[in-house]
Chains A and B, each alone.
Chain A
């Protein structure tokens, strides 16, 4: 079997196992207040980190490019309390503009 097929099957099996495991951890474990607090904060940390990586990183390289401009405009839109689709569209338009003209 080829490398790509191993990649497809291995990734899919482990991805599902991780998802299902999360859903199956006993609830008793989750009723502890400390665990609840950490759980509430995990999306904040991971989503913030994702934004940073998808904005400034290309694999292991850091760079300022058209994406930084696009996400910068998203921040401004959010500060101005723009609705969600507006945030995303203004960011895409800015990024595409910068990509073509800079």
Chain B
């Protein structure tokens, strides 16, 4: 049925766009990681094993700035907490056990969950396809570009010169945009933005983002 393959193609196109865009940012991570005093091997291991951009930037940022291992790990883990929330959201749709669940857990990040949930109008199969394709797509590009960035840290200039530091929030915005389909979600989005900005000067990096979980809680519990 052509409709099915159109849907599959649309989903895969979404996955690929996000994977390549976000994966490219691995250059910035690899470069920043080496510049923060981590070795090329350690930078690559962070991308392979932690595989969560914000957490990775947090741990190299804190330790690179002279912070303790514990404060680096704590900041990274606060940022990683949201991956757990994404898992809660994805598990009933993915319905996987054993090794597949281990693999699904590893690729449960902003992008895989974001693209997956964006597929909701296309049905459950599209959600699952979006999750796996984006998860492994980002994993592939993120690790390749981390290695490239780490190796080229000396030669590569500032990633800001390439506009990459704006492309990432633009990509997140593109992901959240289709979900702003009701007054409630729009008000929640604006409130979350205001809350994150308001807390940024007063809370350690990462916490202003986590704090908006309480907004989602308040909006969800008061919904009829």
**Interface residues in chain A, defined as those with a beta carbon under 8 Å from any beta carbon in chain B:** 3-8, 10-12, 14-16, 18-25, 27, 30, 34, 37-57, 59-62, 66-67, 69-71, 73-75, 78, 84-85, 87-89, 91-97, 99-100
Q: How far is the CB of A51 from chain B (nearest CB, A)?
A: 5
| Chain B 93-109 near chain A by CB (<8 Å), digits 1 or 0 | 01000000110111010
Indicate whether B163 reaches chain A with its CB closer than 8 angstroms.
Answer: yes
**Interface residues in chain B, defined as those with a beta carbon under 8 Å from any beta carbon in chain A:** 14, 17-18, 21, 37-39, 42, 45-46, 49-52, 54-56, 59-61, 63, 68-70, 72-73, 76-77, 80-92, 94, 101-102, 104-106, 108, 110, 113-114, 117, 160-177, 179-180, 185, 188-197, 200-205, 208-209, 211-213, 215-217, 219-221, 223
Closest to B215 in A: A45
Q: Please indicate which of the listed interface residues A5, A8, A37 has the most CB atoms of chain B within 10 Å of its own CB.
A: A8
Which of B21, B69, B83, B197 contacts A88, CB < 8 Å?
B21
24 A-B residue pairs with CB within 8 Å: A7-B60, A7-B69, A10-B73, A11-B55, A11-B80, A12-B45, A14-B73, A18-B81, A21-B84, A30-B92, A39-B88, A44-B180, A45-B212, A48-B190, A49-B192, A51-B173, A53-B197, A53-B208, A67-B169, A70-B163, A70-B166, A84-B17, A91-B166, A93-B163
- Please measure, in the bound complex, the distance between the C-alpha atom of A97 and the C-alpha atom of B160, giving whole angstroms: 10
Which of A22, A67, A97 contacts B83, CB < 8 Å?
A22
Which of A5, A22, A67, A85 contacts B165, CB < 8 Å?
A67
Closest to A31 in B: B92
Which of A56, A59, A92 contacts B167, CB < 8 Å?
A92
